[in-house]
């Protein structure tokens, strides 16, 4: 037996004002679309904003459904919308923010496992890393230079 050690690196920003101006704008749009979330069951609202290489910004918010798990997370809403409307565009950057109706979220909230797998599919498809910025309602923002930091053992088309 041998151990496999995987190391990842994230950048941490103390507040939105420390982000580059284009990311501040992207995060502001994620915060705004978070308010459109349909979250009557979890009371947990998530917003995502994608910057594409064509300059377009695509938004998504989580959409729940009483027939769980028929809903979708904000990240997948945005990624799938980008794939449908701009199939040849690359996703350059993604901003994610989450807030609870019950308590204030102060820690950075990363994408769930299903979203990580969906984002991985697009990162592999476009053969270009996606910068991912994520935060709670307030507080620190974490930046990952690629989805590979969040999902080091990705399942992709090469396994099929």
Q: How many other C-beta atoms lie within 10 A of the C-beta of residue 66?
A: 8
Annotated binding site for substrate: 62-68
Binding residues for Zn(2+): 73, 112, 115
74 — alpha (psi -120 to 50), left (phi > 0) or beta?
Answer: alpha
Which residue is catalytic, options 14, 75, 123, 131?
75
Q: Are 141 and 132 in contact (CB under 8 A)?
A: no
CA 116, CA 145: separation in Å to the nearest integer?
Answer: 14
Active site residue 121: no
What angle, 0 to 180 degrees and rounded to 10, lies between the N-to-C axes of helices 113-126 and 74-85? 30
Q: Which residues are catalytic?
A: 75
């Amino acid at each position: 037996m041998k151990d496999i050690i995987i190391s990842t690196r994230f950048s941490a920003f103390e507040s939105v004002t420390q982000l580059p101006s284009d990311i501040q704008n992207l995060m502001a749009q994620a915060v705004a679309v978070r308010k459109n979330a349909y979250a009557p069951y979890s009371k947990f609202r998530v917003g995502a904003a994608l910057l594409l290489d064509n300059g377009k910004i695509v938004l998504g918010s989580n959409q729940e459904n009483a027939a769980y798990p028929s809903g979708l997370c904000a990240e997948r809403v945005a990624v799938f919308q980008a794939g449908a409307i701009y199939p040849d565009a690359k996703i350059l950057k993604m901003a994610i923010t989450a807030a609870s109706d019950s308590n204030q979220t102060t820690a950075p909230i990363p994408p769930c496992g299903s979203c990580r797998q969906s984002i991985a599919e697009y990162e592999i498809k476009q053969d270009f890393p996606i910068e991912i910025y994520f935060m709670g309602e307030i507080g620190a923002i974490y930046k990952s230079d690629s989805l590979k930091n969040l999902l080091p053992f990705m399942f992709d088309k090469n396994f099929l």
